[in-house]
A and B are shown apart, each in its own frame.
Chain A
Amino acid sequence: MINRHREDTIAAIITPLGVGAVSVIRVSGAGSFQATDSIFVGKGKIANSKSHTVHYGKIVDEKENKIDDVLVSLFRSPHSYTGEDCVEISTHGNPFIAKKILQLLLQKEVRQAEPGEFTKRAFLNNKIDLIQAEAVADVINSRTEASLLGARNQLDGLLSQKIEGLRSMLINASSFVELELDFAEENLVFIGYEELQQKIDRILTEINDLLSTYSFGRVIRDGVNVALVGKPNVGKSSLLNYILKESRAIVSHIPGTTRDVIREEVSIDGVLFRLYDTAGIRNSENEIEREGVTRSREAVKNADIVLFINDVEQGFSNEIYSELKNLTNSDRIILILNKIDKGLKNNLKEGIPISAKTGQGIDALFKALKQKVFINSNYTEKSAIIANFRHYQCLKKTKEYLLNAKESLKNKLSGEFVALDLRNAENSLSEIIGVVTSDDILNNIFTKFCIGK
């Protein structure tokens, strides 16, 4: 441990601020037991207790006034999240109570933790590696179950394993090239260009698969943007309200950030959806409306899914539909036919029939939404997914280099040019997990081939 940190004790509320069942304050550092004892009244001193024990008692202020009944969990170094002496105080979920307790702590040789500082200390104390640290940030930021799944997945090293596998495929391909360059005088049968190309193609296929999980990975991490579009009075707002009611898990309500695009966040079966209720997207003469149109169009462009709502009374709007297809990929559009409680008229066949009034067909709509999210993802709990932008970029770089290598092969350039891009590809891949060495290639050569005069 770096000494500087030993003297320094930090604390923060580690549960989201809001009304929940409990709030937790974490204290970490050499002074955490002492600081806790100075505001805690229980059966004994925290400082004298064993690691991994839980203590009931009360927190009192400087005038011995009780703030709240709490549970204190203690973890002794190095067996804690941060690797330091660590205390977690669970209080009732009133934000004022948690804040008050934190303030009391901050008066005792404890300072407010910076964002991510617990994880940084965990990392510095060798409790977690870089990829895990990134995953922890994702766990903390994940707001739904599916998202949590992705982050856990990564914590468990699925992604690391996958990358390691790709890397050894690359090293294998490189060693064939290097062999030909460094052992020019040996009468070895070298790998043919075609075979090498096949090896590279196989790696590229895997990388493409992994890259394709990113949109899904990002979605389960950050949420799915859904735009509700339709003529006035087709029932967009009623549908939105019904979904909010039905899902029962309103994550947040952001009222009228703009006058015309209303955003709500809901969780449906563990996937976070961000719903945008748009005004019109057709051009208007009215200046005020025009502003709304611009915003709505923006929302459609940014949406992962567009719910295009028609109703049985007004019929299918071809104008809006063609407008939509200009703004977004038609795969992203889900057609909805609302107000079926009023009876089906006009031979309308397009769209999922629903009634925002009675709730009829809403399950089918939810199913369609989820299907759009999980489509092409082949996602199971066992698959590695890319949810982190840095990882995504490294993989894209890797792919670029591999395409360069293929280009060199196609142009019949000699091995060292192919090798350059293979090595670059390996470096980019290794940046994800953090190992770079040319020794691996040579080791592979030595074990596989008979070389040396």
Chain B
Amino acid sequence: MSEIRIQGIEKIYSGGISALESLSLEIQSGEFLSIIGPSGCGKSTLLRLIAGLEMPSRGSIEVSSRERLSYVFQDSHLLPWRTAIRNVALPLELTRMSREVQLTKALEALDLVGLKEFANAYPNQLSGGMKMRVSLARALVTDPALLLLDEPFAALDEITRQKLDEDLRKLWQLKKMTVVFVTHSIQEATFLSNRALVLSQRPGRIILDRRLKLPEHRDLLTKTSQAYLDEMAALYRALESSKKEEIE
């Protein structure tokens, strides 16, 4: 079943800057798709279009679970005056759910990301990685069918990032949701996803749409396997070819 169907979309911003050009894409439900591309290639724009935060200038986007999607931003973007659990409960609060149910669900979500003991901590008492986990819990609390992430771990250190990548994959397997993950890291994309999309320089077009042949279970050792290196090489080659086009 297809979760997202994008047909010939274009996005032109005021001032005539074209972010995306005749892009078509179908994403199956339950997929883990990564979108990679040089900065400014329109990959964030694509995510915002899927989320309905912006409208395409041309073409159409159908998202079957637009009412059940969650979005994770580049930084944690927590509300500093709320404790971790009240931050996580925020999306439920906006839908007028009873306070008790809100907090139970929020605590469950915090437990999923391993921060149950920090429920009553304020964001300024948490480290960068922990804040990002709270942000992830806030996205999961509504039990989304579609999770959109825009370079969520880019600001974190390598070790924290690896840990969060592993956790995110486990959560995806557990929740059986569709994940669209925007990143500029080829390593991260290869490690996380089952399908990877490489976009060209602006205006973004799809250069490569590849199913990754890697085992379902992945950990740090996956990164030492030949299959992983091969997949990464394929993505690097695609990025390189887009650069050449640019010069010609």
Same complex: no
B positions within 8 Å CB-CB of A: none
